Chains A and B, each alone.
Chain A
Amino acid sequence: MPGRARLAAFVGGGLASLSRAFGRGSGSVVGGHVILAIEPQALRVFSAGRHVVLVSGTNGKTTTTKLLASALGAASGREVVTNVTGANLPTGLASSLAAARGRPSADAVLEVDEAWLARVSAQARPAALVLLNLSRDQLDRNNEVRHVAQRWRQACSELPTGAAVVANADDPLVAWAASAAGNVTWVGAGLGWKNDATGCPSCAGPVNFDEGQDEAGRGGHWRCAQCGLARPQLDVPSRDLQISLPGRCNQANALMALATLLALGYSGEPVERASAALATVCEVAGRYAVRGTVEGREIRMLLAKNPAGWAEVFDMLSPPPTPVVIAINARTADGHDPSWLWDVPFERLAGRRVVATGDRNLDLAVRLHYAGVDHDVEPDLVRAVEVKNERADVVANYTAFHQLLARLPKRPET
């Protein structure tokens, strides 16, 4: 390893430790800034000689990364390094890889922000790219979901020979991007939210989805009526897996993780071990976890940060009368424009007890008001979850979720 890279890792790692000592988070981002300032090629240098798998998509990145890391570790028997939760930009990735430089035999499974995937992939020279889905999210930053698909297509066309792409064939945007790669494993992972896929990514013509699909968008074909772009032949069709995480989106995430192992050449007994490992994952960065409040109430935490995420969450909610607390922020990591709330069919919550909270509780309250959903407004996150009930489901977007996670105690041992 070149001296400069060693220096970068030493200084960056040191700063990260300082940041942790000062109680300023993991230090992954500040350390990464320093590493990249000293060695701009840090991702290339620290990835060299290592098996790297990059996971990207609008939704499911963190969960799929966790599932894949545990599955790959079980299958290979080797250590797997992965990134600190949410640190999925080049800074966080540089930190994670630099910290693992003493463990050259470990594989790396890294989640990458969808807008940065092309640039990261060009440096990290991955053994596999795992492409989950693309839909509207943080449009103040990403502008157009098509632009993101275009950059993915570029990344797929520039992969090193032999690198595998594992792609969700049910998402037209993903399929179009991945079809630029030489070696693709097509997975029938489904697509619940189709409103960003009704116009062909190649020619903008109308994309028709088969009647034969189930609710999760699985098991059916799609085809552009204008240019003929169509769902590729599946290599890994959808099937029900034994997992502990709820919801059909996590079935899709687990299927993508398993398909990645097949694409990396695993088969037989190691894949069985991997399947068993998938079933043991029951909490991902606080998501799906039950927390207690000071009053000892049980709070289940769910993350939904865009319309596609919400399309999955409705089916995970506990049945009434369990109240639903919705927390909405519009900070940088959320996107500064919360108008996507109007693409979520909140009408489905009519008749339930709903509490609106977060920085943008009024935007949410107005959305619920026009949807005819009775609700209370409580700007403070913790007071909002202290509802007069034994339990509640909390659905929060990104920064609201992490604020709450930091402020709510873990579930007390009983």
Chain B
Amino acid sequence: MTVSVALIYPDLLGTYGDGGNAAVLAQRLRWRGYQAEVLTVPAGSPVPTSCDIYVIGGGEDLPQGLAASKLESSHALHSAVERGAVVLAVCAGLQIVGESFVGPEGKAVPGLGLLGCVTSTTPAPRAIGELLVEPAAQWAADGLDEQLTGFENHGAVTDLLPGTSPVGQVVVGVGNKDGTIEGAVRGRVFGTYLHGPVLARNPQLADLLLKWALGELPALDERYDFEPKALHAERRRNGPLERRLGGAREEASAMKARWATLVRRSREAVGAIKAP
């Protein structure tokens, strides 16, 4: 059996590298001995209804509206979800699969209704930077118990409706709206603001989605997860610091070093004047 991962409209919703999520899922299956394929579905093509997992990424306002109207009229994603398929929707993708979002004209337009969430505009500045999330306790049973790391970059805010749960609590960053909760999950539809791509930075989450699609999976040989786990640990350590500094850690330390040099040289200069 070949497991199929559909990458939906990367030409419209592929701005932030989220297509990598599909590659990660397929590769983690192949490393476990499965046959896996990524089906890339450009905006002009029909969306297949028989895939196991659907991956939708982030994009810009105008293409987002176009993607939503195409998915709404084809109804293919609805059929797939009714059949039990897994959906990973990131950023603009999360907004599209919700009840409504802000269209290119600035007015609310209906989404696909696969998640109970409503996205609206905010006067707050765009949420940009490293994001760290403590996953809800309910995911631990499926193997997701480590903090999720990623990069958020969105202008709108998302409120959840009853029946849809958050992915978890924000530790560092903004998340859905105000630094409290992040993401939206209902059934097997998983929505998040985490880029990175999120599955490249959080191998546990990749395996959770695979488990939803295929049931219990054989463990992955440690050599395949060495680098993904190292990246996860490094980002968990440094990401929050970078967010608080509003930039890269290295720049902050470089600035400190420059300042120290300037102070030292000034002291030397003053000392040289005083000496005679």
Contacts and interface: CB of A to CB of B under 8 A. Distances in A.
Nearest to A147: B60
A236 to B, nearest CB: 29
B46 interface: no
A366 B265 contact: no
Interface stretch (A44-52, A85-93, A110-118, A338-346): A338-346
Contact of A332 (B66, B155, B247, B265): B247
Contacts of B14: 195, 343
B1 to A, nearest CB: 22
B120 interface: no
Interface stretch (A136-144, A296-304, A385-393): A136-144
Interface string B181-196: 0000000000000011
B41 to A, nearest CB: 13
Interface in B115-166: 126, 128-130, 151, 153, 155
A370 B231 CA distance: 13
Contacts of B224: 369
A337 B195 contact: yes
B16 A331 contact: no
A362 to B, nearest CB: 4
Nearest to B14: A195
A140 B60 CA distance: 13
Contacts of B44: 206
Given A144-B60, A343-B19, A365-B231, A332 B251 contact: yes
B217 interface: no
B12 interface: yes
A369 B201 CA distance: 13
A227 interface: no
Contacts of A146: 60-62
A342 B247 contact: no
Contacts of B16: 139, 337, 339-340
Nearest to A225: B44
A79 interface: no
Contacts of B62: 146, 199, 203-204
Nearest to A359: B250
Contact size range, B: 35 or more
Interface residues of A, number: 39
A369 B19 contact: no
Contacts of A203: 62
A367 B200 contact: yes
Contact of A342 (B17, B126, B248): B17
A362 B11 contact: no
A337 B104 CA distance: 25
Name the residue among A144, A198, A342, A362 with the largest chain B CB count within 10 angstroms: A342
Nearest to B15: A136
B12 A199 contact: yes
Contacts, number: 116
A331 B19 contact: no
B111 interface: no
Contacts of B200: 342, 363, 366-367, 370
Contacts of B265: 22
B129 A336 contact: yes
B227 A365 contact: yes
Contact of A24 (B15, B65, B258): B258
A289 interface: no
A145 interface: yes
A330 interface: yes
Interface string A313-335: 00000000000000001111000
B129 A140 contact: yes
B110 interface: no
B125 to A, nearest CB: 11
A136 to B, nearest CB: 6
Given A362-B231, A362-B234, A336 B248 contact: yes
Contacts of B258: 24
Interface in A193-228: 195-196, 198-199, 203-206
Contact of B17 (A341, A365, A377): A341
A343 B17 contact: yes
Contacts of A365: 227, 230-231
Nearest to A371: B23
B43 interface: yes
A296 to B, nearest CB: 29
Contact of B15 (A139, A359, A362): A139
Name the residue among B18, B242, B251 with the largest chain A CB count within 10 angstroms: B251
B209 to A, nearest CB: 15
B197 interface: yes
A310 B45 CA distance: 28
Contacts of A139: 15-16, 153
A330 B248 contact: yes
Nearest to A344: B17
Interface string B86-128: 0000000000000000001000000000000000000000101
Contacts of A362: 227, 230-231, 234
A139 to B, nearest CB: 6
A53 B76 CA distance: 51
Given A337-B151, A339-B151, A369-B227, 13 more contacts: A22-B262, A195-B11, A199-B11, A332-B248, A336-B128, A340-B16, A340-B17, A342-B20, A342-B197, A365-B231, A366-B227, A367-B20, A370-B23
Interface of B: 10-12, 14-20, 23-24, 27, 43-44, 60-63, 65-66, 104, 126, 128-130, 151, 153, 155, 195-197, 200-201, 224, 227-228, 230-231, 234, 242, 247-248, 250-251, 258, 262, 265
9 contacts: A198-B12, A331-B248, A337-B151, A342-B200, A359-B250, A362-B231, A365-B230, A370-B23, A372-B27
- Enumerate the 8 nearest inter-chain pairs by beta-carbon distance, A residue then B residue, closest first: A342-B20, A339-B17, A342-B17, A204-B62, A362-B231, A337-B151, A198-B11, A144-B60
